[in-house]
Amino acid sequence: MEFIHNNNQIAVYTPDYLVVAEVTFPDIDENTVNVNHTFVDDALRGQGVAGKLMEELVKELKESGKKAVLTCSYAIKWFEKHPEYDDLIYFK
Domain range enclosing 76: 4-88
CATH number at residue 25: 3.40.630.30
pLDDT tens per residue, range 23-58? 999 999 999 999 999 999 999 999 999 999 999 999
What's the confidence (pLDDT) of residue 1?
A: 86
Numbers of helices and strands, H then E, in the chain: 2, 7
Report phi then psi at 18, rounded to 5.
Answer: -95, 140
pTM: 0.93
How many domains does the chain divide into?
1
Residue 92 has pLDDT above 60, yes or no: no
